[in-house]
Structure formats: C-alpha cells, structure tokens
A and B are shown apart, each in its own frame.
Chain A
Amino acid sequence: MVANLAWRLFKHEARRGELTIILFAIILSVAAVLSLSLFSERLQGALVERSSQFIAADSQLGSRKPINEAWIAEAETEGLATAEQVSTRSMAFGEQQMSLVDLRAVSAQYPLKGEIQVTDKPFGSPVATDKTPQSGEIWLDSRLFQLLDVKLGDTVYIGDSEFEVARVLSEIPDQGFSVFNTDPMVLIALEDLAKTNITGPGSRVTYKAYFAGEDSLIEQYYDWLRPQLDDELHRWQRVGDDESAIGRSIARAERYFLLASLLAIVLAAVAIAVAAQRYSQRHYDPVAIFKTLGATKQMIRNVYVLQILFITVLGIVIGIIAGVIIQQVVVTALAGQVDVSLDVWHWRPVFIAVLTGSICAVLFSLYPLLRLFSVPPLRVLRRDMGAGLSSRGLQFGASGGAIFLLMWVYSRDLEISAILFGSGVLLVVALLGVTYGLIALGRRLGQGAMGSWQLAWARIRRRAMDNSVQLISFSVTIMLLLVVLVMRNDMIAQWRAQLPQDTPNYFMSNITESQKTVLAEHFEANQVTLDEFYPVVRGRFVAVNDERIKTEVTKEEDGQETEGRQGLGREANLSWSLRLQHENRIVQGQWHDDWQADANDVTEDSRPIYPVSVEEGVAGRLRINLDDLLTFNIGSEIVTTRVTSIREVNWQTMQPNFFFVLHPAAMQNFAATYITSFHLDASRKADITALMQPFAAVTLFDVDARINQVREIIDQVSLAVEFILVLVLIAGSLVLFAQVQASMDERQQELAILRTLGAKGRLIRFSVINEFLIIGTVAGLMAAMANEVSLYLLQSRIFDMQASMHWDYWIIAPLVGAMVVGILGALGCYRLLRLNTGQLLRKMV
C-alpha cells in the first residue's frame, strides 16, 4: 500500500514536472561526475602510457649488482613482460680515434614502452624502430661518427670485442637528460656484453630490469619482490615517480582533474541541497493531510523514503546514460588532438558516480526530509505552521559532512579535501556575517517611496535567512567556477612559460675560454643567438664544517639519473656568478654580489673563505644550513666557502642550473670550461653540422625531440584541461539556473499578491531583477575573496606552484555574478509574469 502510494505520488509528480529540479540535480551530479572522471581516467591512462615511455616500462628495477635471474623468471611467471639493460661507461675505439661512450647493452625485448629512434645518417631525422642490435652489431650516436671517424659498416672496438656499425642511434626511451657529463651513447645486444670483458670488478655498472603489465600484477609482483630488495643497491621506479618537467606537468594535470571532479561533485551537491529543500517545502501540506487522515510516522517515512529512492534510481540511470554520452561526445571531438585510450572501460567512475548520486540524494535530502516528517497535522487548520524541526546546525552539519565525506572518498586525499572544504566553510561563515550586515545596511537604503529598489531591499531583508542560504549557494557555485577557471589559467600560463617557443633546443659544453668569442661570432654570423655562457669547474665536495661527508650529489646525478648516485667523491659541477640566475630565488640569507673579502674571515691556514649559494633541495638533503662551511677539492686545491644564501631553483626550465654557485673570486685561479645553449628552428636542423664543424671539441646535445615531446604532452594536457573547464562551467551554470528556479517558486506567492494589488509588471520585474542583481554582486564579490584563499592554499600546498593574487577577478566576479544571476532571475520572473493573476494564485494552492 505504502509502495503504491509512493509510486503514484512519484508518477504524478514526475508527470506534472514537480520533480524536475531534484531529478535534474541528481542527473547532473551523476552525469558530471561520470563524464569528468571517465574522461580523466581515460586521459590519465593515455598520459601514464606516454610517461611510461620515459622509463621504457611500467616499472623499472635499477641495481648496482646483476639482477637475480630468479626475480625476472618470477615476473614472467606472474604474467609480466620483462626486458633488461646493462649500462656502463667505456672506451670505444675506431681505427684511428677513440672516445668515452655511454654503453647500453639491451635484451631483445627492450624497450617495453616507447621506441628506439634511429636515423639513416648522423644528425638526420629520427624514425622509430622496433628492432634492437643483433649480436655483433653496434648502433652509434651521431656524435660518434665524427669522434671515432667511422661510417656505417665500419668496425668499432669495445673491450675485447669488435662490432659492426649498423645504425645511427638517435634516442632510446629512458636515456634521461643531462647537460653535463653525458657521453655519446652506443647500443649493443645484451648477449655481447660478456665477451667485451669490461664489466669486471671495480667497473661501475648499472643493471636494469623492466616490467610491463596490469597495474595489479605489477603491484602484486612488487609486494613479492620488496622484502628481497636492498635499499643500498636497488631502486624500484614506477610510472608517475617521474620528477621531470613532464612528470610534474602530468601529476599537476591529474590533480587538476581531481580538483575539477571534486568541484563538480560539490556543485551537484549544492544543486541537490537546493532542490531537496524545495521538494520538502512543497510537501508540507500532503504530510499534514496524511497525518490527519491517520497515517503513522512510519508510513509517512516509508512513503517519502521510497519516493527519494525512486527519484535517486531514475536520476542515476538517466545520469549514467547522459554521462556516457557526454564523455563519448568529448572523446570523439578530441580524438584527433588528445591521446585518450578509447578501448578501455573504467568501472571506478561508474561506481563513483553512482555513489555520488546516492550519497548526495540521501544525505542532502536527510535534513529536508526530517523537517518534512516533523510537520504537525495541525497544519491542516493552521496553515502558517511549518516544520517542527529546525536546526541550522543539523542542516549545515549534515550537508557539510556529506560534502567532506564525498571529497575524501573520491580524492582519497585528505589535504586537498580539507583545503577545499575549509575555504568553503570560511566562505559560509563570512557570508552569514555579510548577509546580516547587508540587511542592516538595506534597512537604511530601503527606506523611502516604494520603487523597485526599495522593494528589492525590503524582500532581501525580510527573507534574511532564506536569502543567506541562497547567497551561500550562489557564492559557493561562483567560487568553485572561479577556482577551476583561474587554476586552469595559471597552470597553463606556467606550462607555456616553462617552454616558450624559443626554448633552447641545443646545448653545448666543453667550450674553452678562448673559444667563447669565436663561437659567439660564428653563431651570430649564422643568425643563431647564443644564450649566456655558464662557467663550470668540476670539484669534489668533501666536507661540511670540516666534517667529511659520505655522499655527494650533483644535479645530473639526481632526478632522472639517480642510478648514477653511488660513489663517494663523485665530482660536482661548480659555477660562479655575481648575478642570480633567472628563475632562481633566494629563500634564506643574501645573494653574494656585494661580498667583500674580509681579512678576519679566513680558515685556520689563512686561506680566504668565499661565499657560496646552495640550492634548497640539496641543502635539505645534506643538512646544509646558512653559515655552514663547505669544502671543495678542485684539482689539487682546497676551496673553503661559507653558505651565505639558500636558493629555490625552478628545475622545470630547460636551463642549466647548479647546486653550488660561488663568488667569482673563489674561482679566479681555475681554468673553466663553459656551457651554453641556443634555439634553432626545426627548419634549420640541417645547418647544425656546418655550425658545429669548426668546433670539433665542443660537445653538442640535441634536446629538440625531448622538448617537442614535452611540449606536445603539455599541449594535450592543456586541451584536456580546457575541456574539463568547459564541462564544469556548464555544470555550474545549470546549478545556478536550478537555484534561481527554486528561489523563483518561493517568490511566486509574493508576486501573485503584488499583482493582485495592482502592481505594474515593470515594477515587479525590476524589483526581482534588482534583488537578483544585489545577490549576484555580493555572491560574486564573496566568491572572489574565497577563491583567493582556496587558490593560495591549493597552489602553494597541492599544485607546487607560485601562488599569486588575481585582482582582476575581484571586479569580474561581481560583474559576471550580477549579470548571470540577474539574467537568470529575469528569465524566471518573465515566466511567472506571463501567467495571469488567477493562474498565479492557483499555483499557490
């Protein structure tokens, strides 16, 4: 019986459009969450796939000792694909010349992800190959053809073995990127390595095993492997552990998708809260009637819980269909531009969407329903009697708790949830204060003859609490849209700034002092502008405050090439300058440009102590503090320095950066070499051989392909971010519309009375529009403020970005808020005013 009644109520109300808003809100929440997360999962899948190319696998095990064969066999038994690489530095000999090379011996399966790039001639255009060197073959880096004076088909000797030069090697997926100290690479077959006899005791060899397969299989395998690994020897790396510019961009984009989806959930929740409140109010009379006619509380609870259930199920079903269609449209539209894995169906988004729809529907309708159940039967006689239960605490508690729960469940990230939620709470509290302030202000402004403004103020004042709830929901919506919009602008701007069009795509090192001018003139004559020359001296970092240190680190050995960070006494690249490098920022102490030698500040053996600036990260890792004494061993000399500043360095710029920058005075006695970079258009690629020809000893690095790859990924991610922004904007606009619609119903009665009393349509229309303009302006302003707070927290804590103020939005937000809310209000009002007074009054019954 109860089910029948509930079903009938549901059916009729649905047919009569009474459920449209709440149903729409649920559909919106499910569709938005589903399409956003489906899309971002697919996109992330594609991005992870791409970034897996940078480690040539899904996971990689690096080791300083040969990797246990049993481990690889176990991985294969588990169903994982495997490959191996052994790398070392060695001398390669041509018939006349020799050169130090970065030797990589790879198994036939290498690489598991990404491709080996080869060219048909040195410095030619790279093409992908799915082959690896055959036994007896060697593939040489372009530079080696010049250095060893060989051509294809010639013989090259390494250790006790000889190889035929079979191909020009351009790039391998996990070669890493380092300006310093990179020897040209050669590739041979793994089985040939033993014959060379170069990997004997004392040689520095890195062993790598590669794994690819399902995430769960890899996790399972790693769980098995982990207990057997030795932290000193082994390093497990997986996709996403990438600290490079690409890795960070992707990580940031993923966080953005997460943020956007979270905001979509909140938007949907706000919509449902608004709709549920309205739904509840419309059912006060039926509940009073049911109770009068003898229905028990249990019966009423069942009827309405069933109704909510019907609405939720229907909303979820339609929402899922809509979500799938939306994301399919997006994916199809973007298919050409963005790499998305089309063939994969992800269940998690569906699960999340259903969960979101259910939690939203249940938790947000909880308070309105509890209020509804508390309506006394006496309302049938005393029409002014509302719900017995009234607790803003319960209302805010339930909805706030629900939002936080959803955010947390969805993001599995307490910090990002806490930041968004915290700024939301701050906004709500501030808004409540402002509403009451405005109402007090309006009391003064609203006095005088009854024009449309006075009427608007009077209405805002009279409906203080309702308006504050409305104001809060408008502000939260606008704030969320602002966060998504500004975040996207800042993020894309920073990405683009990171790699401007003229980003250097070639680096040169080993330039001597005497070559500097000639080189610059030669390039100038060929219309190529050289970047700054950075002096480099190699030195051993030996002590902090006279205490000898165990490990020394240089940039190129960290990050992408961490596997090289093994020994004691490895050399660091020291540079010196009086000028702070671009994208470097002093975080502690002072830059040393005005340093003066001080006769009292000397070492025990009376050597001067020079200032040094240390990069923040390395300072942290090596526990170096301001004023510490650092000792370097350069050649046979000892240089003692005092830390006078700690620098924050933006490693994401494609620029040489240094851990240690000394005062030039410290280095005056050492012969330095220089490094520099330049940008050469792709169309002039062929000129490179001629450009470099007079400078045989200068080492050239071509990072063009790498930069293009980064740029391509960033462009794709940017495009995806734009799309997500559009989706969230649409969702947000719909929510705003739902809010205006809901509040319009509440105004219906008043409009009817004003109409009946003979008020002109113009007066009514303008009073409603003015009311919405006021609400929109205030909401926009409040949103701009809250936006600033959340952006500051998000950018500085979650997105690893430089936070900044966005003053323009302090003007844009109130203007747009007033405009959008005003227009929506006008539209809603127009609909009501089209009805005649009789219809209006009847609608009130």
Chain B
Amino acid sequence: MIQTKDITKTVTTSEGSLQILQPISFEVKAGESIAIVGASGSGKSTLLSLLAGLDEVSTGEIYLDEEPLHTMDEEQRARLRGEKVGFIFQSFMLVQSLTAIENVMLPAEIAGLADAKKRAQTILEQVGLSHRAHHYPNQLSGGEQQRVAIARAFIGQPKILFADEPTGNLDAANSVRVEDLLFNLNREVGTTLVLVTHDNELAKKCERQLQMQAGELTEITAAPAQKDLAYGS
C-alpha cells in the first residue's frame, strides 16, 4: 500500500542546508497498522507529511497504492489524498465555523459524494456523537472533537489513514476511548494505518513499530513478511 525508496528531506536554513531525513526505504502492506515512534524533533512528523503527500520529498520515490506520489504536483496529490487518505491530528484540525456533522461531511463533499450527510450521520452515531451533531467544535470537549475528527477521517472509507499523535491532547480516559474507536474502525474498514506517536503504549497496539531517531528509521518489531527488507541505511 505504501512503498518508499531512499526518500530524503533536506531544508534550507539561514545556516545552510539541513538534512532532516536520511535515505529511508520501507513498505507497508494493505490493511497493516504501523506506528512510527520517536522523540520530538526526530523527524517522524516530517516523514508522515511526506508519506501523506502534504510535503514533497527532496530525493527518492514514494508509491501510495501504487501511485507515484513523488512525481505528482500539489493538485494531483490533493486528488489522491481526497480519494484514498484519511487524517487524524493531535490538534484535531476541525473547521471552527462548521458544526460537527458538517466537519464530518467535508471529505465526502470534497470528493463529490451525493450521500455525504447520510454517511456523516451514520458514522457520527458510530463514534457516539449523533446528539452533538449540530454543535460547533468549541462547544465540544477535546475527546469529542477528536471523535469528530475520527468520524471525518473514516467517512470516505480511506485506504490509508495517517494519525499524528491522535491522543496527544487528551486525558487518559478520553485517550483510551479514542484509541479503541480508532482501532475498531480501522479493523472494520480494513484501512492501512500509519500512526505517529511518542506514546509507546499506543504504538504497541499497532502491528509494527518503527523508530525514528535523528532522521533515521529502524524497525523495532518487524512483521514476518517484511523481514527481508532493509530499513534505513
């Protein structure tokens, strides 16, 4: 589902160019769940942004569902994201001026689906927020907002879901609830999950864990099928 070949990311700063990611190659199978763990500043969010096509690689190749992300322009990547990718963010990233249900409908509307509202109602029910459908984000608690975000991520039944510290802003009780919801839906829909976190407990819930350290990626627990692959360099 995801395949990377020697991807690197270099940024230009006032003190010259800085390589944030060393050449990274790995593969994620369809339906697999992987966690990328690492300390702050290790480069895990950068890797996520490249995998999700939010940013461009400096060198190397990325294939998302066999489509060459590295050759696409911003417009093509946006189309690909719309069709195949879902997102969950640490800071929820809900549109403040839209209600919960409207936020959930958003991806379906962008994709031009006719039954956006019906889908949104169903999935809001699944995350237990149908009674809050017409509330604005700032009228919801953090946990509720993240559940809305999860509902939004799954409404298009994406092939791949990227989650960036999904429980980073939540208390313990809400974290558990959100995690359960995330993994349950993931299983139901059969989505490939790429999760970035510094929470090892959360990472362990994934089938594989990859460690980011100073821009280099290493596998902590490799799934049997991936053993023969080389990680990093």
Interface residues of A (CB under 8 A from B): 1, 4-5, 8-9, 12-13, 16, 18, 285-286, 288-297, 299, 376-378, 380-383, 842-843, 845
Closest to A19 in B: B97
Most buried by A among B91, B110, B112, B136: B110
Check B81–A293 contact: CB distance below 8 A.
yes
Name the B residues within 8 Å of A842 (CB-CB). 138
B6 lies within 8 A of chain A by Cβ: no
Bound-state CA distance A148–B107 (Å) is: 101
Q: Known: A12-B99, A294-B83, A845-B138. Contact between A285 and B55, CB under 8 A? A: no
Chain A: minimal CB distance from B117 (Å) = 10
> By the criterion CB–CB under 8 Å, are B110 and A16 in contact?
no
B75 proximity list for chain A (CB < 8 A): 296-297
Mask for B105-143, Cβ within 8 A of A = 1, else 0? 011011110000000000000000000000011100000
**B194 → chain A, closest Cβ, in Å?**
13
* CB pair A380 B89 closer than 8 Å: yes
A378-B97 CB under 8 A given contacts A1-B112, A294-B110, A295-B82: no
Chain B residues closer than 8 Å to A383, beta-carbon distance: 91
Verify B78–A380 contact, CB threshold 8 A: no
Min CB distance A766 to B, Å, is: 30
**Which residues of chain A are near B107, meaning CB under 8 Å?**
293-294
Residues from chain B with Cβ under 8 Å of A381 in the complex: 45, 48-49, 54, 89, 164
List which B62-119 residues lie within 8 A (CB) of chain A.
Answer: 74-75, 78-83, 85, 87, 89, 91, 93-99, 102, 106-107, 109-112
Interface of A is mostly: helix
Other A-B contacts than A4-B109, A9-B97, A285-B96, 10 sampled, CB-CB below 8 A, are A5-B109, A8-B98, A16-B97, A292-B81, A292-B93, A293-B82, A294-B78, A377-B81, A381-B48, A381-B89
Q: A16 CB to closest chain B CB, in angstroms?
A: 6
A535 → chain B closest CB, angstroms:
83
What 0/1 readout, one digit per residue, does chain B (139-153) give for beta carbons within 8 Å of chain A?
Answer: 000000000000010
Query: Given A13-B97, A381-B164, A299 and B48 touching (CB < 8 A)?
Result: no
Tell whether, in the assembled complex, residue A295 and residue B78 are in contact, meaning their CB atoms are under 8 Å apart. yes
B195 to chain A, nearest CB (A): 14
In the A-B complex, list the 4 residue pairs whose CB atoms are closest, starting with the nearest.
A294-B82, A294-B81, A286-B95, A293-B107
**Separation in Å of the B46 CB from the closest CB of chain A?**
9
A289, B78: Cβ atoms closer than 8 Å: no
Q: Are B79 and A285 in contact (CB under 8 A)?
A: no
Inter-chain contact A380/B138, CB cutoff 8 Å: no
Q: Which of A8, A13, A295, A376 contacts B102 (CB 8 A)?
A: A8
Looking at the complex, which one of B80, B83, B93 makes contact with A380 (CB distance below 8 Å)?
B93
> Which chain B residues border A299 with CB–CB below 8 Å?
110
Name B80's closest neighbour in chain A (CB-CB).
A294
Which of A288, A290, A294, A296 counts the most chain B CB atoms within 10 A?
Answer: A294
B179 to chain A, nearest CB (A): 20
User: Which residues on the B side are within 8 Å of A288 (C-beta)?
Assistant: 93
B179-219 CB contacts (< 8 Å) to partner A: none
Docked Cα-Cα span, A13 to B136, in Å, equals 11
B-side contacts of A380, CB under 8 Å: 54, 87, 89, 93
How distant is the Cα of A290 from the Cα of B109 in the complex, in angstroms? 11
Q: Chain A residues near B85 (CB, 8 Å)?
A: 294
Taken together as a complex, chains A and B put the C-alpha atoms of A382 and B95 apart, in Å, by 16
- Shortest Cβ distance from B85 into chain A, in angstroms? 8
Q: Are A18 and B97 in contact (CB under 8 A)?
A: yes
- CB contacts under 8 Å to A, within B145-181, are 152, 164
Q: Provide the residues of chain B in CB contact with A16, threshold 8 Å.
A: 97, 136
Q: Of residues A5, A8, A285, A377, which shows the largest number of chain B Cβ atoms within 10 Å of its Cβ?
A: A377
Nearest CB in chain A: distance from B181 CB, A: 19
| Pairwise interchain contact A292-B91, C-beta atoms closer than 8 A | no
**Closest A residue to B107 using CB positions:** A293
* In the complex, chain B residues 26-47 whose Cβ is within 8 Å of any chain A Cβ: 45
Q: How far is the CA of A620 from the CA of B100 in the complex (A)?
A: 78
- Given the known A-B contacts A294-B78, A378-B49, are A845 and B96 also in contact in the complex, defined by CB atoms under 8 Å? yes
Residues of A within 8 A of B48 (CB): 381
Contact B97 A290 (CB under 8 A): no
A residues in contact with B45, CB < 8 Å: 381-382
Report B-chain residues with C-beta under 8 Å of the C-beta of A289: 93-95, 106
Q: Which residues of B contact A8 (CB under 8 A)?
A: 98, 102
